[in-house]
Structure 1
Amino acid sequence: MSIRDLARHLNISIGTVSRALNGRSDVNPETRRRVFEAAAAIGYVPNQSGRSLRQGTTNSIGFVVETNSETSLYGDTFFTSVYAGVQQVFARHHLDLIVLLCPFDQDPLEHLRRVVSRRFVDGLFISAIQRRDPRIDHLIESEIPFMALGRSLSGGTHPWIDLDFAGVAHASIHRLVERGHRRIGLVTAGSELNLGYVFADGYREALAAEGLSFDPDLVIRAETSEMGGYDAVDRLLKLPERPTAVLLVNEIMAIGVYRRLHEAGLTPGRDMAVIGFRDSPQSRFLSPPLTCFRIELSGLGRRLAEGLLATMPAYRDQHPIGLVQEIWPMHLVAGESDPPLR
């Protein structure tokens, strides 16, 4: 099916069809809608190689994911679901999503510089955002459209969406205090990921809001993995007065936490309340079931895609939402790992 066939089917000019498919603002919205609906109905797919040569674009967007911290932090299903949401939006514009894995032994900035220099994508998503992230500064200087999954102290007014780490901390502390807990530990990210700092700040603010004092001995920075959770709780158990509850920056850590408690002859939930981060497939198989928080990941992916396209001239008219800087909500999923203090 060619663009000529699509134009003949709609009884409009080839030029009008082309401008509508390319997101040009000089096409009537009703005509654009008809073109996209007809293209989907009759299976028209643009010749991307010829289109790219004419437009000087690739019609591809890259998603940079680091294979060290992030894959352990969120688990595979996090990004798979986000990608699905992104592609739902991109499909309407005949855009392709390319996942760009940054190996654990490569410098993230050098990896990004190589991607940008090759210009094989028209825009980028970046993740594993550092507290001060030089990749953001480089992307701004390179004038390539991008969207960050996570906020940073770098870059000023660039678009981003971050998970509600502070909100999770506040909700968790309030829930634990209502259940009688006063000595509450925190296990946060040991790297320079900004989410760890945001989570720790939210924890301190939540303690103050509940009238509790902050004890730095109860805050453990650890690797975001099963072993990180194991080692963190091992340190908490060695304190002269161990906490009665612990809040984790990610749910994968709970596997190590449960194991270390069992080795110490303690029962998760009964002897130490545990609240994880995300409601993941792993957390559902823990015993007792982990109290954690649900994220609408496909919706997050769609919003990331819309936020990026809003910065790109070819798609801005179709996504007139301005600069996106948003905190993505999370909702409590009550488990059995944080019962009232006996």
Structure 2
Amino acid sequence: MKGIKRLAQHLDISIGTVSRALNGKPDVNEETRRRVLDAAALLGYAPNQAGRSLRRGSTNAVGFMIESNDETETNSDNFFLGVIGGLTGALLKHNLDLVVLPCSVNEDPHDYLQRIVARRLVDAVIISATQRRDRRIDLLKAARIPFIALGRTGGPDEHAWIDLDFEGVAHKAVARLAALGHRQIAVAIPDNEINLGYVFRDAFEDAMAHHRLTVDPSHIIRARSSEHGGYTIGNALLAMEKRPTAIVLVYEMMAIGLYRRLNEAGLTPGRDLAVVGFREGPQSQFLSPALTSFRMSLRDLGIGLAEGLLATMPAYADQFPQGFVHKLWPMELVEGESDAMVIGR
């Protein structure tokens, strides 16, 4: 009780208010909640239930923060499940448990993580859905909590990160389509501030320039990273006066919605519009024609994240002396029939 009492005295508010703020109760206003969380992080407060672990100096747990929203719950995306499988196995070898930290899309990711940090629930953190300017990184650095990011930011990379090789995917996709004679190529990117969209767009534009192709601004389509987003992309393409002959998708689930919308319009992927998807997922095997996409091992990515995180944790420095990991995860082209159409030169 001494910790929470000290925190209450520091803020000059009641112990009950501090407790309710730390536990996310709705009867505490946002200004007070933020003051409590900021002070808890500053003073190194942890709740009583974590006291025993703190006295040992460790919780023996690693947190994996992922975004949880309606789309994640309704589509059958297996990305995080595969990554978690690799993570769990790699951490178990070092007697570390993995705790999944699902942040609702309706909550600010920084505020959510700030609450986790204040409670000292885990020894280290893996963050995902990395934004172009991600305040969580400053928070973790200030709290001196080891972490690794699944995804780069748009700023200095003075921290550990692993990201998918979006540049490689964009260049391979554009090169393949250009070789088939396509000159009007569109790209679909997320409609949010996750940095991967900016990375992919820049790489796409570089690849187009390399092949001396012009990017039509109207052919850069922003949509949700979901099946519904793919359907929206189909609507956007059909409404265009100057329709592209090919499109590159940055998220695999978009292909499902796009296929449906094209079929409704009497169009066939690979015949009326060349489509290059992103990651080869279990759903893509049921698409017809077969989707050209990129393959990677989610399990190996999870293992890579675990080892990159362990390298930031002082207790494992001898076993993983490589320091901050900066790695682009390779992806292998899988040829399908969705981009089979050849354009006359």
TM-score (norm: length of structure 1): 0.82
1:228 CA drift (Å): 1.1
The aligned counterpart of 2:183 is 182
Q: Is the 8 A contact 1:150 1:161 kept in 2?
A: yes
Match of 2:200, as an amino acid? Answer: F
1:340 CA drift (Å): 3.3
CA distance in 1, matches of 2:265, 2:51: 65
* SS of residue matched to 2:91: helix
The aligned counterpart of 1:205 is 206
Match of 1:84, as an amino acid? Answer: G
CA distance in 1, matches of 2:197, 2:51: 45
Q: Is the 8 A contact 1:69 1:224 kept in 2?
A: no
Q: Is the 8 A contact 2:64 2:98 kept in 1?
A: yes
Match of 1:292, as an amino acid? Answer: S
The aligned counterpart of 1:146 is 147
After the TM superposition, which of the residue ranges 227-236 and 203-212 deviates more from structure 2?
227-236
- Match status 1:267 vs 2:293: no
* SS of residue matched to 2:318: helix
1:106 CA drift (Å): 1.4
Match of 1:184, as an amino acid? Answer: I
* SS of residue matched to 1:282: helix
1:247-295 alpha-carbon deviations (Å, 9 max, x no partner) = 1111101111111111211111100011110100111111111110011
CA distance in 2, matches of 1:132, 1:240: 36
CA distance in 2, matches of 1:283, 1:81: 16
CA distance in 1, matches of 2:74, 2:237: 21
Q: Is the 8 A contact 2:67 2:104 kept in 1?
A: yes
CA distance in 1, matches of 2:312, 2:156: 15
The aligned counterpart of 2:298 is 297
The aligned counterpart of 1:220 is 221
What are structure 2's unaligned runs of at least 5 residues?
1-49
* SS of residue matched to 1:314: helix
After the TM superposition, which of the residue ranges 228-237 and 64-73 deviates more from structure 2?
64-73
Over the residues paired in the alignment, what is the CA RMSD in angstroms?
A: 2.0
What are structure 1's unaligned runs of at least 5 residues?
1-48
1:19-43 alpha-carbon deviations (Å, 9 max, x no partner) = xxxxxxxxxxxxxxxxxxxxxxxxx
1:156 CA drift (Å): 3.7
1:70 CA drift (Å): 8.2
The aligned counterpart of 1:105 is 106
CA distance in 2, matches of 1:314, 1:267: 56
State the number of aligned residues.
294
The aligned counterpart of 1:36 is none
- Match status 1:170 vs 2:171: yes
CA distance in 1, matches of 2:219, 2:247: 9
The aligned counterpart of 2:325 is 324
CA distance in 1, matches of 2:323, 2:201: 30
After the TM superposition, which of the residue ranges 63-72 and 170-179 deviates more from structure 2?
63-72
The aligned counterpart of 1:337 is 338
Match of 1:300, as an amino acid? Answer: L
The aligned counterpart of 1:254 is 255
CA distance in 2, matches of 1:300, 1:241: 40
Match of 1:150, as an amino acid? Answer: G
Q: Is the 8 A contact 1:227 1:253 kept in 2?
A: yes
1:164-210 alpha-carbon deviations (Å, 9 max, x no partner) = 11111110000011111111111111100100000100110000011
The aligned counterpart of 1:10 is none
Q: Is the 8 A contact 2:273 2:341 kept in 1?
A: no
* SS of residue matched to 1:318: coil
CA distance in 1, matches of 2:154, 2:252: 26
Q: Is the 8 A contact 2:75 2:227 kept in 1?
A: no
1:137-187 alpha-carbon deviations (Å, 9 max, x no partner) = 111111100110000024640100000111111100000111111111111
The aligned counterpart of 1:71 is 72
Q: Is the 8 A contact 1:73 1:225 kept in 2?
A: no
Match of 1:205, as an amino acid? Answer: D
* SS of residue matched to 1:317: coil
1:88 CA drift (Å): 2.1
The aligned counterpart of 1:46 is none
- Residue identity over aligned pairs, in percent, reads 55
Match of 1:103, as an amino acid? Answer: S
